[in-house]
Amino acid sequence: MKNQELAERTKNSLINTARVQFTEKGYAETSLEEIVGKINITRGALYHHFGNKLGLFKAVVEVVQRGIAESIEQESAKSENSWEQLVLGCHAFVHAALLIENRRILLVDGPAVLGWNEWSEIDEHHSESRLLQKITDLKADGLIKDSISVKALTTVISGSLNEAVLWVSHAENPEQAKDEVLAVIDVMLNGFRK
Amino acid sequence: MKNQELAERTKNSLINTARVQFTEKGYAETSLEEIVGKINITRGALYHHFGNKLGLFKAVVEVVQRGIAESIEQESAKSENSWEQLVLGCHAFVHAALLIENRRILLVDGPAVLGWNEWSEIDEHHSESRLLQKITDLKADGLIKDSISVKALTTVISGSLNEAVLWVSHAENPEQAKDEVLAVIDVMLNGFRK
DNA sequence: TTATTTACATACATTCTGTATGTATGTTAT
DNA sequence: ATAACATACATACAGAATGTATGTAAATAA
């Protein structure tokens, strides 16, 4: 079993340093040599474990998504009220997505590099699926206006959160911007309530 | 003046075919040879006129943005009512962004390739500035809830529209999806109304 | 203990972008 | 009208990056 844990260690090292590089320079601008150089191995190891550059990126994306989903889960569990859980979840997403180690991969490069189909497939296993589930429940409980499509609403909310995070992160005063954005989101969510 | 119009023709050809290629294959996956090959010139001409690959992409983005902005302008002008103009503008954006020749460049590659700063700089000269202006006016006229920040609201609306378009374009039934999304957007906008 | 798989390294082929240079044609100044 | 210059490209080349094919030592299985 010494071989397996060695492999596991190299894979994790690759994912971790790749995440840093992808975050700092973006997918296209990071070379694989840059990544393997940081941990003193060669591209041979990388190609052995991940097949190609995209394979490594997907592995990084998985880690990022898992982290976000966990944050949301944790935060929204702080309330018993179903509607409050939605609000808490949205706020948690904003907080988590704002973190440097998540932002670019989650909001910019992820969708662009992987393309819509592959991206939403991954997304649906994580944060977006949580949001969809919550909204489906709220709709079933009659807490959301009847005229509204659950999937369309999920999309609209998700999109607004994404763009909001990007704006906040580039605002002159990010703290204030975050407050403003969260306030707008609260109003928005309330607008969908029955 | 014969030289100038020749140059203008080549530039337009490059922009047009580049737009097609960028739309079909994305920025990273299109090679410059592919573009110049289609119109039987060499990369020399391309580099002469646009400096580099990014320069050509920016030129394409400008064209796309201008088109979208014009659609919005035109549609929203169909009403005298200020609030209706906002709604019409949002709907027009959805329609325009859904067009194949705009979608990918506007919603996926544009922001990812150019990065937030450069993208918003271009965006602020076109569609986003129109939206911001409209919302600013509505706020000044007391038609929007007081607690809401104009810039944050603009961001939220813009983000929801973007994501909505992407979802509609990949839906099994795009026509229905579009109707659903527009309905959600109307509800959302109303939620911000005072 | 021999065979085979695993985890890499090394070497190489290919494909891009970008730059430097060459050239013919158009434009301007005298 | 012609010399000087600028423009609009084409051509050739350098450099970087991905991906693939092959080699190898260590671990594991037979």
Distance, in Å, from the CA atom of A142 to the CA atom of A10, rounded to the nearest integer, reads 50
Alpha carbons B103 and B105: distance in angstroms, whole number: 6
Contact flag B184-A108 (C-beta cutoff 8 Å): no
Residue with tokens 């839906």: B171
Indicate which of A145, A166, A187 best probes the interface with B, i.e. most B CBs within 10 Å of its own CB.
A187
Residues of A in contact with B22 (CB under 8 A): none
Three-class SS of chain B: CHHHHHHHHHHHHHHHHHHHHHHHHCCCCCCHHHHHHHCCCCHHHHHHHHCCHHHHHHHHHHHHHHHHHHHHHHHHCCCCCHHHHHHHHHHHHHHHHHCHHHHHHHHHHHHHHHHHHHHHHHHCCCHHHHHHHHHHHHHHCCCECCCCCHHHHHHHHHHHHHHHHHHHHHCCCHHHHHHHHHHHHHHHHHHCEC
pLDDT at B2 (0 to 100): 64
User: Quick check: A40 contacting B, CB < 8 Å?
Assistant: no
What is the average per-residue pLDDT within A84-93?
A: 98
Which burial class, exposed, middle or buried, applies to A85 when counting CB atoms under 10 A from its CB (0-12, 13-18, 19+)?
Answer: buried
Q: Is the CB of B10 under 7 A from strand D?
A: yes
**Residues in chain A closer than 8 A to B170 (CB atoms):** 116-117, 120
Strand C contact at CB of residue B5, distance < 7 A: no
State how far residue A23 is from chain B, nearest Cα, in angstroms: 13
Question: Residue A144: beta bridge partners?
Answer: A193
A72, pLDDT greater than 90: yes
Tens of pLDDT along chain B (194 residues)? Answer: 466 778 899 999 999 999 999 999 999 999 999 999 999 999 999 999 999 999 999 999 999 999 999 999 999 999 999 999 999 999 999 999 999 999 999 999 999 999 999 999 998 889 889 999 999 999 999 999 999 999 999 999 999 999 999 999 999 999 999 999 999 999 999 999 99
Mind listing the pLDDT tens digit for each residue in A102-117? Answer: 999 999 999 999 999 9
**Positions of chain C reached by protein Cβ under 7 A:** 6-11, 15-22, 25-27
B120–A187 CB contact, under 8 Å:
no
| CB-closest option in A152, A158, A180 to B152 | A180
- Whether B162 and chain A come into contact, CB under 8 Å, resolves to yes
CA of A191 to C1' of D4 (A): 72
Domains defined for chain A, CATH in brackets: 2-192 (1.10.357.10)
Instruction: Specify the 3-state DSSP secondary structure of A193.
Output: strand
